[in-house]
Structure 1
Amino acid sequence: MTNPSPKTTTPTSDSPTQGGCPFGHGGESTGGASATSASTSANATQWHDAQLDFSKSMSYGDYLSLDPILNAQHPRSTDHNEMLFIIQHQTSELWMKLALYELQAARTAVHNDELPPAFKMLARVSRILEQLVQAWSVLATMTPSEYSSMRPSLGSSSGFQSYQYRILEFMLGNKNAAMLAPHSHRPDLYQQVEAALNAPSFYDEVVRLLARRDFAIAPERLERDWTKPTPHDTTVEAAWLEVYRNPSQHWELYEMAEELVDLEDAFRQWRFRHVTTVERIIGFKQGTGGTNGAPYLRKMLDVVLFPELWHVRTLL
């Protein structure tokens, strides 16, 4: 009596390749050199059913315009560390662009009494600021001697000349007409910064919201000089005090208040990491833009964006 021949099966598209995982990784091909050659040829045009030919369609790099972005770094020295300095600040500018995009949309939403979308946008801005905070940790890997080697290549350029940062500060209420001057050589940028100076800040729109919700806000606070820093106003503080004492009755305003505190908290952390990174790298040297460096940045730590929201905590 002879033993039956081993049962053979023909692999299907749903069965794993011999010796491999169910997803087709690590399978052993059969058929010798010719099969290997065929497999290699197939792999040149196919990989897990992904599209590999982008000669007639948009690729990842095309969509993101990676060529101009990745070729926008132009070190002015031969120092190895200058690339870090450039990319650190370029990526920060990209994050600020997104923060402004979200903050402007959130201000419009508040103006239109559409608060839930505004909450989502404000939360996103706070998370963007967290990314900016963490970015200082990368720059902090640069030592004083490394920075000193590349610093001459910076000339008089300085972060306080960032027009996006200035617009961001103006939108958050820290207005200062003198800070238009660094952009006077670029009429296109000057116009954008000036527009932010003359417009109500995000917090100004929130104060108007309080008035629309029947809180007794002083008329002079509702139509003030928008080019001035945010003032502390007793009628605004009284409104927030009522909101915090009765959150269930004013839930949307209560949530708005906490979103704003979260936002300013993140903004303060960004400023703090900035000054500590500067102190770590250059100590108390003068800044490249002519400021007195770290002492100037430390002074900025005392700026309060939403004064009533912080003071009301003492009254509760």
Structure 2
Amino acid sequence: MRTEPLQQWLNGQLSARSFPYEPTMDAFQHHGKHAMPQQWLTLLSAARDRLGKVSGPKDHLAAFLFTALDKADNRFDYRSYLALPLLPIPDPDTSSYRTDRLMTRRDHYHILLLSDLIAFELDALDGNRTTLPQLRPIAPVVRKRLRHAARASVPALRRLSNDTDLSDDPISAARLLIAKADVGRSSTDRLMLRTSMLPVSTAHDEWLFVRVLQTFELTLGQLAVDLTAACSAVSDNRLPAAGARLCAAAALLRETAPLWSLLATMQPEAFHTFRVHTDGASAIQSRPYKLVESLCGTPDRRRLHSVAYQSVPDVQDRIRQGQITIDDALDAIHANHSTVAQTPALADGLQQFAAALLQWRRTHYRLAVRMLGTEQHGTGATPGTPYLLRNRDTKVFRHCSLTGSSHQRRQPA
């Protein structure tokens, strides 16, 4: 991979629009971020140093360079590994779109991410893909992946368009889904997809791993927005509206089930091949998940000072500053179990979301055990599967008795 395009850019007009993303991404995906040649890293660092002189909109370029140089800067983590600064993750603090518009955006990017994964798998199956050639899966595994990816796409497709008919054949369904996703795809969308895949290795299955986790982060961000809205509705004593928002959030979380099935097609050998290069990046650092967790109920002091929250200091600060949770909002209006029961829509919303989140945790635990075993620590000395086991059944809401007498701890997982 030749560095001349990047050298020429540095010696030229320094326009954000002309940055050589294509050859740069080719290099990252050829070598893997962990083995990126020093010559490339030196030039990218020089580009970052000159950002102040770059003309044109440069937010994306700045985010890309920040993400691409994480290992070189010794600050590699979950957020930079998944290139989350380059993705439009919904956030209750910054998202200004109306509810329907925000959900449409989430669905749009959900389809884009999955269609990119599908295209990658089809290209490899057809022999047209040379990127990430190590440990390619056999054709039956690819067909299974395509089937799960199509299933995971259908609910979002249904909301975006009435035309959701897909073939029963996974290959045909995958090609049709790519065609549907390409309609209305903007140049900004293409740039986001192209630059948000910075694998650490050349193992084929890492593409699957990254795209599925990015899709989860997108959904968890949307759930954080939904729970914030539900908190506000409870605080305003609009209990049926809060229940409706919780039911919608539960439905969205249930839609992620095929993503777990998709992730389960990952080959353990491939996973362990690239996992050795991900030290420092752990899902325990997921900001959207911690927002979801902490918006259900305030974590106790031990939990708040655990490594789980130390890894997301801004969420930790929100809690210390008195972030309102659904449990807190119900307390504030003197709600109790009988009051919740007298508001069927709210009771239904609490139970549906609690059930969906508990199922999500348990599925996460089962997949982690399959890949890592029952006593394996996570990357960066994080607790790993023992932590997931301890927290998979923790009660979601204090004002919901769904989990029964054996799970009456207030603290969410």
Task: Return the TM-score normalized by structure 2.
Answer: 0.48
**Equivalent of 1:287 in 374, 378, 384:** 378
Spell out, residue by residue over 1:232-286, the C-alpha distance to the aligned partner (whole angstroms, 9 max, x if none): xxxx3xxx24664xxxxx3xx2321221011111000000000000111121322
8 A contact 1:73–1:83 mirrored in 2 = yes
Q: Secondary structure at the match of 2:400?
A: helix
- Give me the whole-angstrom Cα distance separating, in 2, the residues matched to 1:138 and 1:193: 32
- Give me the whole-angstrom Cα distance separating, in 2, the residues matched to 1:242 and 1:263: 18
Deviation for aligned residue 1:192: 4.2
One-letter amino acid of the counterpart of residue 378, structure 2: G
Alignment correspondent of 1:103: 227
Spell out, residue by residue over 1:108-137, the C-alpha distance to the aligned partner (whole angstroms, 9 max, x if none): 122122234323321111012113333211
One-letter amino acid of the counterpart of residue 369, structure 2: E
Deviation for aligned residue 1:313: 7.3
Q: Secondary structure at the match of 2:381?
A: coil
Alignment correspondent of 2:13: none
1:1-316 to structure 2, matched below 5 A, reads 60-62=184-186, 65-173=189-297, 175=299, 176-178=303-305, 179-183=308-312, 190-197=313-320, 198-209=322-333, 211=334, 236=336, 240-241=337-338, 244=341, 250=342, 253-284=343-374, 285-310=376-401
Alignment correspondent of 1:40: none
Deviation for aligned residue 1:91: 0.5
Deviation for aligned residue 1:152: 1.5
Instruction: State which structure, 1 or 2, has the greater radius of gyration over its C-alpha atoms.
Output: 1
Question: Percentage identity across aligned positions?
Answer: 26
Cα distance change, pair 160–174 in 1 and its aligned pair in 2 (3 A): farther
Deviation for aligned residue 1:292: 3.9
- Give me the whole-angstrom Cα distance separating, in 1, the residues matched to 2:354 and 2:403: 15
Cα distance change, pair 193–295 in 1 and its aligned pair in 2 (3 A): same
Spell out, residue by residue over 1:91-122, the C-alpha distance to the aligned partner (whole angstroms, 9 max, x if none): 10000111111111121122122234323321
Deviation for aligned residue 1:208: 2.3
8 A contact 1:130–1:266 mirrored in 2 = yes
- Give me the whole-angstrom Cα distance separating, in 2, the residues matched to 1:262 and 1:157: 31
- Give me the whole-angstrom Cα distance separating, in 2, the residues matched to 1:313 and 1:141: 33
One-letter amino acid of the counterpart of residue 167, structure 1: L
Cα distance change, pair 291–155 in 1 and its aligned pair in 2 (3 A): closer
8 A contact 1:61–1:67 mirrored in 2 = no
Alignment correspondent of 2:63: none
CA RMSD in angstroms, aligned pairs only:
2.5
8 A contact 1:133–1:269 mirrored in 2 = no
- Give me the whole-angstrom Cα distance separating, in 2, the residues matched to 1:207 and 1:309: 13
8 A contact 2:221–2:288 mirrored in 1 = yes
One-letter amino acid of the counterpart of residue 358, structure 2: R
Give the number of equivalent residue pairs. 216
Deviation for aligned residue 1:78: 0.7
Deviation for aligned residue 1:167: 1.3
8 A contact 1:100–1:168 mirrored in 2 = yes
Q: Which moved more, 1:256-265 or 1:300-309?
A: 300-309
One-letter amino acid of the counterpart of residue 305, structure 1: V
